[in-house]
Structure 1
Amino acid sequence: MSHFVQATEAARDAYAHYDPPAMLAVAAEYEGLPEGISAVGQAIRDLVLNTADRYPVDKALAEQLAVVFAHVHAAESKAAEVAHLFRDLHEHDLKRYEEPRPGEHMWNIFERRLDGTYARRPSVFVLACQDIAHTYARNELTRMMNGPSVAAEYEGLPTGLENIAAAIRFLAVKSAEAYPVEKPVAEAVAEVEHQLMRAVSAAQELFPRFRRLHAPDIKRHEAPRNGTVAEAMWDA
């Protein structure tokens, strides 16, 4: 399986089961969206550069990957808008934490929590996406086909991006249905997901193009003449 798919599945699953304890934790997710997507983009950027400079493939594949990266970068820009919008629309709510008045807790709906949940927490999305970038950087690909390979990364890229989009979809749905935020915030998060799905669409063109442009190379692996050992006599 693709390293990218494995890492993004972990991020998706971690986020699916995350239940923020208070709104400051939710705020961390909104504010962390651009940083998290940037980390995902770094992994894709590495794949773009390796495809262009290190892997024995047609340059058209690097060009297609650059299109994917551009969509991810656009999603990062939209994510930055979410963070600003959230702060603008919830200035008063945030001020209660950041510049509390004497006796601020008297405005609470429930009693003050005693578990430290008023303190800011790191974004779960950011931490998960940073793991993706680190995992991808650590795993150097040395084969074009079979097992951990360049082909597996090309094939898995759409699924990996769908996993990230799914994590953001969780946030969009909870923002619309569960969190006490203004409607434009939920809509802005949904726009980030939609932009990532454009990256998915572009990524879906990559593997078919790889197979088409490198059909003779792939055939040596999938239909070796007189067996693998014999075909290996053509290894460079």
Structure 2
Amino acid sequence: MAAFAPVTSQYQSVLLLRAREVVEKYRTYDPPNMAAFGAELRDSAPACACLAMALKQLAERSQAAFPVHDAIVQMIVGTYRQVGTAAAKAEEIEPLFYKVHAHDIMRLEEPRKGFAGEQMWNIRLGQQTDGGGIKNRRSVLYSVSAYVAYVYGNQYAPEHMMQVYAEYCALAEAVEAFAGCIRLIHDRTNDIEPVEQPISDAVGTVLESLGAGASEAAKLMPAFRRYHAADLKRHEAPRKGPAGEARWDV
């Protein structure tokens, strides 16, 4: 019996699944101190770059392997560029953080008379640190985001275009889901962490670029339906049913 391609609703976007997993894992993380939170601020840039890499891979696959209109490829490139801009803006956070909080960071990374001495300046008497600065500290955000960069690598092998269409349809939601991680950081800068306003503003600009990327991606599905209306009709309203329509298959 011939196998027929199911409609798009029966597929889930690979990127959206990964983006949701990243947010779910990151949402439970509560940085224990400012050194740990500083690592999250620092690695917001490589985390955004992971998402940008996935979009770059999707654009390249769409250009080289998927039979789609070139305008679709350009829209994916536009989304990639916006997310790339977010990554570039996030690169500005670390040097700004070190500048604005130079004295605070000095206490962590160059403690006077060692940590035992520096702790005499702590707000709470006898409070202990974990004895580490920011530079070599791993961030949870990057650790949960890293594998997103490879989501469309060699292992992604869709059998037909309805699977690819599912990726296109969910692209905006995937970018928005990932942006949820940066939003969590932004909320902490506003509500919890003792950082100066320029830090919160800098994280906010990253969020704005991710939002622009999601807006660009939202144009993809209606454009795809417009450019590939005849192709989609064969799947969504097959003449004489799937068995009849399949007689036109290449």
The TM-score with structure 2 as length reference comes to 0.88
1:95 deviates by 1.1
Partner SS, residue 239 of structure 2: coil
1:1-236 aligned at under 5 Å gives the runs 1-102=12-113, 103-110=117-124, 111-113=126-128, 116=130, 118=132, 120=134, 121-137=137-153, 138-145=155-162, 149-236=163-250
Partner SS, residue 161 of structure 2: coil
How much is the aligned-residue C-alpha RMSD, in angstroms? 1.5
1:112 deviates by 3.7
Identity %, equivalent residues: 35
CA distance 1:232–1:184, change in 2 (3 Å):
same
1:119 deviates by 5.8
Query: Aligned AA for 2:199?
Result: V
Rounded Cα–Cα distance in structure 2 between residues aligned with 1:213 and 1:9? 29
1:176 deviates by 1.0
1:16 deviates by 1.9
1:178-224 C-alpha deviation (Å, 9 max, x unpaired): 00111110111011101110011100001111111011111111111
8 Å contact from structure 2 (residues 189, 195) kept in 1: yes
Query: Aligned AA for 1:132?
Result: V
Partner SS, residue 152 of structure 2: helix
Partner SS, residue 43 of structure 2: helix
Gaps of 5+ in 2: 1-11
Query: Aligned AA for 1:126?
Result: Y
1:65-104 C-alpha deviation (Å, 9 max, x unpaired): 1111111111111101111111111111111121111011
Partner SS, residue 20 of structure 1: coil
8 Å contact from structure 1 (residues 22, 118) kept in 2: no
Gaps of 5+ in 1: none
1:104-136 C-alpha deviation (Å, 9 max, x unpaired): 12112233437x474653112212221212333
Partner SS, residue 57 of structure 2: helix
Looking at CA atoms only, which structure, 1 or 2, has the larger radius of gyration? 2
Rounded Cα–Cα distance in structure 2 between residues aligned with 1:119 and 1:112? 16
Give 2:9's aligned residue.
none
Rounded Cα–Cα distance in structure 2 between residues aligned with 1:43 and 1:186? 27
8 Å contact from structure 2 (residues 23, 177) kept in 1: yes
CA distance 1:133–1:168, change in 2 (3 Å):
same
Rounded Cα–Cα distance in structure 2 between residues aligned with 1:126 and 1:164? 12
The TM-score with structure 1 as length reference comes to 0.93
Query: Aligned AA for 1:29?
Result: E
8 Å contact from structure 1 (residues 158, 204) kept in 2: yes
Rounded Cα–Cα distance in structure 1 between residues aligned with 2:144 and 2:193? 21
